[in-house]
Amino acid sequence: MTHARFSPRDLLAALTVVVIWGLNFVAMKFALHDFTPFQLGAARFAAAALPLVFFIRPPRVHWKWVVLFGLLQGFGQFGFLFMALKVGMTAALASVLMQTQVFFTAVFSFVLLRERATRALQAGLLLAALGLACFAMNYIAPHLDTARATTAFGFALNLCAAAMWAGSNIVARKAQQATPRFDALAFVVWSSLVPILPFIAFTLVFDDGAARWAQLASWRAVPLSTWLSIAYLGWAATTLGYGLWTGLLKRHPANRVAPFGLAVPVVGLAAGMLVLGESVTTWQWAGIALVVAALVCVMFGGRYLNKIPL
């Protein structure tokens, strides 16, 4: 049964998720000081899966959905995101660009699921495209702005991460449709086991000096701040964050819960600038404004755009 409005407890849960996910990108930056993207991926998902897999029963879904979700959301999304943050993407801008997953999801849903794009979604896609063009202008015409906070390669990798997130949304939707009494938390926890081995394999093949992790001294040399960042990424951002979010979706319609996600890039931007001292160029501010406007249009524009005759 759905509550008519948010209780104080539900509002606190929603705001907690917003803060946790907004600070998520700062934690990634800290952890990448001592780990490569592939090493961080393995550590993050090991923390997300352990020890919960010993206490949560496997989800009653076909194994293919668990594997696909783990590869797309785990290995794909976070592999690209960690590489983007490593080679030239700020935590502040990454928190905004990851929200383009909404539009990638819409495109994939149209192509793969034959879902119709509403007027609000079409308008949002146009605004998002203009926003991405502004981000691209930061590299096409760098002489117009003195600050160079990111690289074009990091920007492209970040968009790949958002596309992978969108792909995992499609898989999760298909898994829900195919499974009565779908358990989202069990699905997330058990799918976290999937990307661990691919990340370890990529570390052994591509990372220089990967063999040093066979020595206990290398583990002891990692500072406490990095281990706390990994614990945050695995337990707070994944287990607690998705657990609270899933609980909200069970008690309230998705269209009442989803708008809280608009605040995640706000927290991410503020944290990146205040904690890490990151800068944002004029073109990037324009892109941020257009992407946020696109998200607002998708969330709230339907009630107005649907009244406009064709």
Return all residues near 304 (Cβ < 8 A) that are at least 6 apart.
Answer: none
Instruction: Extract the tokens encoding 17.
Output: 């998720």
Report the amino acid identity of residue 121. Answer: L
Answer yes or no: are the C-beta atoms of 265 and 30 closer than 8 Å: no
pLDDT digits (tens, 9 = 90+) for 232-287: 999 998 888 877 887 777 677 665 676 777 788 889 989 998 998 888 888 888 98
pLDDT digits (tens, 9 = 90+) for 131-159: 888 888 877 765 555 445 688 899 999 99
Instruction: Extract the tokens encoding 268.
Output: 């991410």
- What is the chain's alpha carbon radius of gyration, rounded to the nearest angstrom? 20
Q: Taking the C-alpha atoms of 267, 273, 278 and 284 in order, what is their torsion angle to the nearest 10 degrees?
A: 60
**Count of residues for the chain?**
310
Report the amino acid identity of residue 66. Answer: V
Answer yes or no: are the C-beta atoms of 280 and 272 closer than 8 Å: no
pLDDT digits (tens, 9 = 90+) for 20-61: 999 999 999 999 999 999 999 999 999 999 888 999 999 988
* Dist. CA 85–CA 125, nearest whole Å: 25
Domain boundaries, the chain: 8-305
| Per-residue pLDDT, 119 | 77
Report the amino acid identity of residue 239. Answer: T
> For residue 185, which of 234, 116, 124, 246 has the smallest C-alpha distance?
246
> For residue 80, which of 158, 150, 8, 132 has the smallest C-alpha distance?
158
Instruction: Tell me the percentage of the chain whose pLDDT exceeds 90.
Output: 35
Return all residues near 275 (Cβ < 8 A) that are at least 6 apart.
Answer: 26
Return all residues near 56 (Cβ < 8 A) that are at least 6 apart.
Answer: 185, 186, 189, 190
* Dist. CA 277–CA 107, nearest whole Å: 35
Average pLDDT, the chain: 85
Reading phi first (left if > 0) and then psi (alpha if -120 to 50, else beta), residue 297 is in alpha
SS3 94: helix
